[in-house]
Structure 1
Amino acid sequence: MGSYLEVSGGFFCVVFLLFMMSTVVSVPAKTKRGVKSVPQFMRQNVDVKGFLKHYGYMEQKPVGIQDDNNSLGENRAVTLRRAVRKFQQFYGIPDTGELDALTLKKMAMPRCGTKDIERDPRGRVKRFSRLAAKWKHSYLTWKVTRFTGQLPQASQRSTFSRAFQIWQDSAPLTFTETRKEADIEISFVRGNHGDGPGNAFDGRGNILAHAYGPGEAPISGDAHFDDDEYWTLDDERGTNLLVVAAHEFGHSLGLGHSRDARALMYPAYQSQDNLKLGYDDIRGIQTIYGGKIGPNPRTVAPQTRRPRPRVTPRPTSGPATTSQTPESCQIQFDEVVRVDGDNYYGLKDSEVFKFNKDGLTSGYPKPITEIFPEAPPSVDVAFAVPGTSRVYIIKDLKVWRYTKFELDAGYPIEIPRRHFREKPRFVMTFRDDTNYQRVLLFGSDYWWEYDFDNRQTFAPNSYRIRRFWMNVPRDVRYAVQYSDSYFYLVSESSYLVMNHHRRQAVGEKKRAGLPVWLSLPCSSTGTIRSTITVLLVSFGGFLLKVLLNTQ
């Protein structure tokens, strides 16, 4: 009996030790390659390398090129770790590079099958992902070529119409269902459905749908939905067709995936009770197509140049001072910034001219550092953000930010060179039709959007000016939004009036000379007021004589 107890006791000890060893092995721990291991049951449903390659985080080597197993083992581990970090950064989770439980959970979420990061045939990341493409026409047609048998056809068509309407509410686009050839064809399919093995669906879960961006190919704009999914309209147990359709139609219009988890274009499926576009969605669609078309900013015509008489300075008892009107009233400003309503600050060399509708403010011009402390003597770009009392000055990738003409703490800051595709020449800043503040920088060939108040981790996407802003010349010195709400893009001897909502020039393509309101610095506020006073007194005297003569 005692020997039996000893043997059974030893047996149970061995079993207990084996159990403890298996438990310890399954706890995440550092491996030789620097990536945490995770329990096998969490990894068995995720092909990590396949996932990272499919969605653009890892380069897919061309057929016939193999790794040297004797020398590149460690390099492969570094490559995997780097790809995991990119994925974590995209999804907004701690970018440790470790394949932990949270990372695997994100990888296993139901999602769109469209790539997060686009690469060219040589494996290089495309600088212009899907935002480089747009439809050349604003009236788009769609049709369903294959319905699912899970829902009534009328409900499916109504759902797709609602999904298109979500985008139509924020962009100058119109969508119409047709039975003829359509720009966007919609179909429910299964498995390998004819657009390549790499785009095959995988049954229920994981990939829900995918879509193709605008273009000339037969498949351009088309959206495919996996018919193995459990599609519903208002049942929490399945996948909401409206949410997925609205996301896929974003791809059909040219949008890529968003890193913002609040955006509709976030890669992973997220059910929403009140479906609407996020800020990043609106910014993206309006980056491609402009704001929602409505009435002109103002019904008045833009200010045009009229002939001006030559101003002859009055004789003075001494030499001319810098506060006098510049010769011929043709001030070629380096920048003009509109601040606090209708006050304009013209920067010329190291001086500042303040003017408004009454003319040049008394005491100006002044040294730039007197208005903007610690500012550089010359600037590349200067602009103000409406409604914030903030002015920004950029010089050689450094940014000075002023609030109520006081330099903010921590400024100037330096912008990483990779964040600017080229040297900025002018800026357009405005609130869009959803009341979001937009700051658009323009170089000679490219334009991009930037947030100067929050440090950006990633370089912004940049786009060809000629594809998105018609007739904008390459020699613009600065842009300023005048009180008529139009932007005036001023060159050395001409200017262009731009409707930023429609992204097109108003009237003529280019106008000779300078806008008439830029002649305001040619007269001082005091002079104009004195003239008005003299006229009023003269008119009063005339009126008094008329009254006396009638008595």
Structure 2
Amino acid sequence: MELLWCWIFTGSLMFVDIIWTLPISEEQWLRPEDVQLAEGYLRRFYQLRTSSSSRHQSRNRRDTSAMVDKIKEMQGFFGLEQTGTLDPQTLAVMRRDRCGVPDVENFSVYPKRTKWRNKTITYRIEKYTPDLTREEVDRSFHLALKLWSDAAPLNFVKVNNGKANIVLTFASRTHGDFFPFDGPKGVLAHAFEPGQGMGGDVHFDEDETWTTGQEKPGYNLFTVAAHELGHSLGLSHSKNPSALMYPNYKYYDSAKYTLPRDDVMGIQALYGKPIRKQETVTIPRKCDPNFSVDAVAVIGNEIVFFKDRYMWIRTTWSTYWNQLREGFSSTYLPGINSAINAAYDIPAKGVAYIFTGPKYWVVQQLKMKSHFGSIYEYGFPSTVKHIDAAVHVSGYRKTFFFVGQVYYRYDENKRKMDPGFPRSFPLDLLSIVRKIDAAFELEGHIYLFSGTKAYLYDYRQDRVLKRIPANAWLGC
């Protein structure tokens, strides 16, 4: 070991602070701030304990040995060479933005298996951040919780007041839990394991800048919340860099992110696998007088009609009904196992968007695996749980979404909702229908489906030109 002598003057008194430094290379001399960083990091995340906390008392060899051991433990956790020295790689990891929960001796899945007894868990947002709108915060937390409920039999219920299992809040510096935040960067948030009182709660550092994407500088709230809520459910940190429960911050896009296997296995070890209801899917009778469709879209050169979890396909150019193909949706759209609520296509891009509840799927061609996103990326309020129908009007480069008796208009170029929406249906349309089930555009014409009927609608003149049975396209 090497001795580093620091002479500290206080008034007329002089103290000698003997710091037992760590083994270092001949080329490298540690700065005092590096040692302070390391000690603080190891105390907070690796339970480093020294015999004295006073800077005016000498530290003994036992302290130095403990620090070397803790550095090795930290290096082992992050997959670094376990030298016990504060090399540049180790210090670089210590400087990264991260979760405030310790990496060791805390949140252990085994053997205590700390978890919630009930699988219906309530949550409440105590304080919002001014960086985002309330809807953006609500949506971020909703999507973060859904990651976990998709992987385990958990049901999260939001309450607006009173007691809740998990309380989420934004705070800065000292905020009443004995774990003060450190200002901008560094520790971004922390959470508590399931339990009474503060158990399960999540605190976000208000000194950070919170975002919903990656366009602006700051930290993505969905990413941080999803990680912290893993702690709220009883998970510890993972050593796997690709896992959500890895302690260091990494941006994840809520539209494309799925829970990695490491995290799935962890949450299922606590709560089990999600319960999948066994449903009997019957094939709809397309020529039934009461037949209606759920969604329609043009995918490639084919018009696709959806009903429940079944679909019919006919080419846009064929007039022969024997060219009609049909089958279960999952056969033609791998990965989409839910009933389809709405769909629309953009011919100029050669893609179609399929909506199932709060998700949408991007489809380029049938039988090709597609990726998904969230409907809230479009700018829908959190009160919208699913889309009834959608249609893209190529002449305007706008997409119309129908929800109940109102509609939204989305600008595909600007990628945001037009101001002044939602609006009620136009009067001529409202006099005929109360709800739109499906819609699609073909050769400049808009077809709107409502119940057992389909309507040829001229959106320029706001006039219904013709009415036909909803199953007329299917050869009935």
**TM-score normalised to structure 1 length:** 0.43
**Between Structure 1 and Structure 2, whose CA radius of gyration is higher?**
1
Relative to its length, the structure with more strand (as a share) is: 2
**TM-score normalised to structure 2 length:** 0.49
